Amino acid sequence: MEHVRAFLDERIAERKSSYADISRLIGRNPAYIQQFIKRGTPRRLEEQDRRIIARFLGISEHLLSGFPLRETEPPQPLTRARSMPVPRLSLGASAGGGTLDIEERSMESVAIDCRWLQEIGVRPPHVSIIRVDGESMTPTLNHGDEIMVDHSDNMSRLRDGIYVLRLDDVLLVKRIAMGPRRDEFSIVSDNILYPSWSNVDPALVAIIGRVVWAGRIFR
């Protein structure tokens, strides 16, 4: 399996992705692929994980299996994936008083059309879907809405918009309003019944990603 790990390492680098990106893509903890490549744990990737990774990298799933190709088995064609699985994380980004980020792991994945992701300017390994908890962002976001978060859009590109952020070990979804100086901004609740914070020190905030899409169920 050593040649499989080396091959996967090269393909990830060529795609300009990271180990954590590919781990999130298959709904695993961020260190999963790094441990596979660098430590050989697990010894072999599961079939479903191989299939998802291969589709994203545009390679044959068999190349990640470590099994020899049977003479009667033709190689799989390299086709561009029409849809990609986007992890739905088992945590809520609070739009209220705040929730502790205890279990940041994937519950399941949702198949999203690759062309649509490209149209909104995001890449599959860098996005996840998170549920909104609370009412502090109404009417923009309601309790129970699901948001798509672009994790590559972080502090280095910070601008006005809605972000998922971590403040004092609490995961929040709030509006960011940039101040007149680059080294300060405001954290705003769209619901006036909830507090906002002005002139926030960026060193106190971890930007998880920018909200690029929101969906809700109408009842």
pLDDT tens digit sequence for 161-210: 999 998 887 889 999 999 887 778 999 999 999 999 998 888 889 998 99
The answer on pLDDT for 83 being more than 80 is no
Q: For 100-142, write each residue's pLDDT tens digit.
A: 444 455 557 777 887 888 888 887 778 888 989 899 999 999 9
Distances in whole angstroms, Cα of residue 202 to Cα of each of 14, 26, 62, 94, 171:
33, 31, 46, 19, 15
Query: Which part of the chain has CATH 2.10.109.10?
Result: 83-215
Q: How confident is the model at residue 16, as a pLDDT?
A: 77
Quote the CA–CA distance of 74 and 71 in Å, as a whole number: 7
pLDDT classification of 20: cutoffs 50, 70, 90: confident
Q: How confident is the model at residue 68, as a pLDDT?
A: 65
Q: How confident is the model at residue 71, as a pLDDT?
A: 46
Q: How confident is the model at residue 1, as a pLDDT?
A: 77
Contact present, 69 and 62 (Cβ < 8 Å): yes
Higher pLDDT: 156 or 81? It is 156
First to last CA, the chain: 51
Please report how the helices 32-39 and 2-14 are oriented relative to each other, as an axis angle in degrees rounded to 10. 130
Average pLDDT of the chain, as a whole number: 82
Helix (H, G, I), strand (E, B) or coil at 197: strand
Task: Summarize the confidence of residues 67-79 as an average pLDDT.
Answer: 52
Tell me the CATH number of domain 2-64, given options 1.10.260.40, 3.40.50.880, 3.30.450.40, 1.20.1250.20.
1.10.260.40
Query: Which part of the chain has CATH 1.10.260.40?
Result: 2-64
The CATH fold of domain 83-215: Umud Fragment, subunit A (2.10.109)
